Amino acid sequence: MASAPNQGLPLFYNDLTPISSQVHADWRIRPVAGAPFLKNVHAVPLLVEEFISASRHFPIVFSVGDNPVPLALMGLNEGINTFVDENGLFPADVYVPAYIRRYPFMLARLRPDTDELSLCVDPTSDVVGAYDEGDLLFEDGNPTERTKAILAFCEQVEQSSLLTGSFFKDVVEQKLLIDGEFTAQPADAPQPYVYRGFQIVSEEAVKNLRGDVARKWIQSGLMALIYAHLFSLQRMADVFGRQVQQGKLPVPDMPLI
């Protein structure tokens, strides 16, 4: 149900190319109405700093595997997003994760022998290109204010990603993650729908943390993030209800993972 993003290219990205004042001198960022590709995306990566805001709307779970990724679930089945409309637009009152707001840009390491990151763009996106309308990426060979703002936001996301990694180091060290499961059975369903394939934090393990560890996490704010995740799990029933209301449940004999 909750798999980590593709290890080749990140989720959403079909290609990545570094932004260059020579190559992209006439490229513009144009306004677009929504993101249609979101219609078939049921889980989006989250930063730990977003847990509290996102928990009001989405269940927050963790992917399986050795390097778990926090995910906001927008549907409980692959290919189903219960929040966006046909144009990929969220309701005005729903939190939009930074991962979505960053696309089609991101910072990327161009060479394996250096830690230097460059601002890159997915050239297949219809947001940027040699269009007649929109904000230029460069003027007189220099980044525009819009490009500088995009770079600053991508840098902020990169820093937050490091904090997310630190968060998981502590969680894994304390062995808090367990396999998750959610079961629901609509009144007219012959059998329950069972969802697995994701991880959650064990509330029992949190209660049994050593006093010095719990105190440290309370002081650092990490404990508040853990409880934001735990509270968000109540949204599982909400998302399932949205799928029922929207007629987006799979046929009963389909494997649910």
Higher pLDDT, 158 or 109: 158
Examine residue 223 and state whether it is found in any structural domain, yes or no.
yes
pLDDT tens digits for range 189-219: 788 899 999 999 999 999 999 999 999 999 9
Within a domain: residue 91? yes
H/E segment holding residue 151: helix 145-173
The end-to-end CA distance of the chain, in Å, is 4
pTM for the whole structure? 0.88
Q: 195 in a domain, yes or no? A: yes
pLDDT above 70 (res 7): no
Is residue 228 assigned to a domain? yes
Whether 4 is covered by a domain: the verdict is: no
Q: Which of 9, 5, 3, 13 is nearest to 35 (CA)?
A: 13
Q: Which of 231, 11, 19 is nearest to 138 (CA)?
A: 19
38 domain-assigned? yes
DSSP secondary-structure letter at 251? P
In a domain, 59, yes or no: yes
Can you tell me the mean pLDDT for 22-26?
93
User: What's the CA dihedral at 80, 251, 179, 218 to 10 degrees?
Assistant: 40
Cα–Cα distances (Å) from 38 to 1, 8, 222, 227, 232, in that order, read 17, 19, 30, 28, 21
Confidence of residue 67 (pLDDT cuts 50, 70, 90): confident
Contacts of residue 114, defined as CB under 8 A and 6 or more positions apart, other chains included, come to none
From CA 117, how far away is CA 120, in angstroms rounded?
9
Number of folded domains in the chain?
A: 1
Banded pLDDT at 5 (limits 50, 70, 90): very low
In a domain, 32, yes or no: yes
pLDDT in tens, 87-146: 899 999 999 999 999 999 999 987 777 778 899 999 999 899 999 999 999 999 999 999
Query: 202: Cβ–Cβ under 8 A, 6 or more apart, which residues?
Result: 176, 177, 178
Percent of the chain that is helix, strand, coil (3-state, to 5): 30, 15, 50
Average pLDDT of every residue of the chain = 90
Q: Which domain holds residue 68?
A: 17-245
